[in-house]
Structure 1
């Protein structure tokens, strides 16, 4: 049984990870913001909560008393921000703060990054050694910078495993790709129920249950600190992914729009965001990012960690079942 500190534990990946670690008997401490929603953990009695911020290194130091393992998942994942510095402040500086504290206290660190830190790829899957800093989104740039900072601390003694999930999907996701899945499932064109362009770009999909399963045990592999792992899934064309969602949920194919139309739509949403001060559902940099291949190999994680990938259709069936149940509950509230 380990004493574990988790940042980002109230996020999409964090919630199932916290539950699995708790079920395994570990003592969990969550570093959280004051306004964090803790309702997913109502049935878990042995979780300690500490208010703090990864941007404040002293709040991290205050949270690590007695801690043996750190999981760092906290990140600003929004596709848009009025002040772009938020990506650097949280994703880069915040990660550096966590890594520096882990180093000074000699605490092993499990850092969940993103496949975007590796950059766009050729159509053939690449491994963890690949690097292509051709970025379109501030989020991508920040994850790349954070990865470099963490890796630079390894020769100085930092014990860390770095993980690169693909596009993460599964029950409970209402980030951009979760919203897209929900809209395609219901056959809604707006706001995100279409395939931009022909959808020929390849993307790598990660089922959230697969991630939480492997992350909950990876810290036990002390021989693998200093290494990084792609935690992806099936590599498919973007249109194939959306078509599969539409087929499972409605027996049809996803609606497709010319790329230039979706770019104009995204521009209008961005303009509106400056007046409403609300994040747009879609942005032009996001569309540019998904226009390029993102094909990644998880062979290293499969071979060394025993990572298991749920078949895409099976994972989507479970996810769509959850969304349908959620949709039914929401309609009853109306």
Structure 2
């Protein structure tokens, strides 16, 4: 297949590109950067720069994967930063739709990044893709607008899958290295109340799940990318300490994190119990469906 990919140099994008090339697909990474060298089965296409017309190089693509957007966990959520988080996602998705509209042959599928933050936070509710309610905080509002833009691709008769990612676990990127650091320094412990839910997923299941969605023609709409077995923050920390052979003993109180992180603290102090009903009902088999084996693989 010919696959166009935005966010291809990011956390998930790099791993996904490597796996797709391994399967023999031809990948076109859309980027603002200049002078990146093409290689076998991998081409770089300019976009979102003055005068760039990526559609001229993307005729005949089969799948469009949109992972572009400002990171939500790389800085305090000031008003300026929140605006950048939202506008980066909406701008990229609008441009993806514009490109698709210009192509003579439309791609059959748009896979768009999203987040479980759509559901808002709760200690006692369980969310699946059929859950109708959504959150009212900044992250939930961002995801709602982002998905609404992506689903406009249906007007072009393009199948749309919005991947509602949970906390993606990997050794070198994402949230896990920051969570693991205190444990490595023998200072790990329960974050906040410890009762908040952590809906996690191993990076390998993110990649395998996206490839599964490409090949599963009847899978569409919002799709939760989380393990079938979410855990409490307390259990997450205890399991992490066990895997790293470190104590789980020094708590990180919620008020201190709020003081340091501001509104962004909801990423660690609040949570939601999210189950991957769409993936499992379509027959996807998780490589890592329990936390301890996932962490053992990551830190082996």
- Confirm or deny a common fold (TM above 0.5): yes
Match of 2:278 among 288, 300, 305: 300
Change (3 A) 1:261 1:172: closer
Counterpart in 2 of 1:97?
Answer: 95
Residues 239-258 of structure 1: matches in 2 within 5 Å?
239-258=234-253
Change (3 A) 1:35 1:316: farther
Superposed CA RMSD in Å reads 2.8
Instruction: Give secondary structure in 2 for the equivalent of 1:219.
Output: helix
Give unpaired runs (5+ residues) of structure 2: none
Change (3 A) 1:228 1:56: farther
TM-score normalized by the length of structure 2: 0.85
Deviations 1:131-168 (A, max 9, x none): 3232144xx43222111222344356332111112100
Q: Distance in 2 between matches of 1:141 and 1:87?
A: 11
Aligned partners of 1:116 and 1:144 also within 8 Å = no
Residues 1-334 of structure 1: matches in 2 within 5 Å?
2-34=1-33, 45-53=40-48, 59-79=53-73, 80=75, 83-84=80-81, 85-103=83-101, 105=103, 106-107=106-107, 108-130=109-131, 131-137=133-139, 140-154=140-154, 157-173=157-173, 175=174, 177-187=175-185, 189=187, 195-224=190-219, 226-233=220-227, 234-264=229-259, 266=260, 283-310=261-288, 311-321=290-300
Large movers: runs of 4+ above 6 Å:
35-38
Deviations 1:272-315 (A, max 9, x none): xxxxxxxxxxx221223433331111122112152415021111
Q: Distance in 2 between matches of 1:293 and 1:204?
A: 8
Aligned partners of 1:76 and 1:87 also within 8 Å = yes
Change (3 A) 1:262 1:227: closer
Q: Distance in 2 between matches of 1:122 and 1:248?
A: 26
Instruction: Give secondary structure in 2 for the equivalent of 1:206.
Output: strand
TM-score normalized by the length of structure 1: 0.77
Number of aligned residue pairs: give it.
290
Deviations 1:207-255 (A, max 9, x none): 100110121232122233x422111012111121122111110242152
Change (3 A) 1:104 1:49: closer
Q: Distance in 2 between matches of 1:29 and 1:297?
A: 32
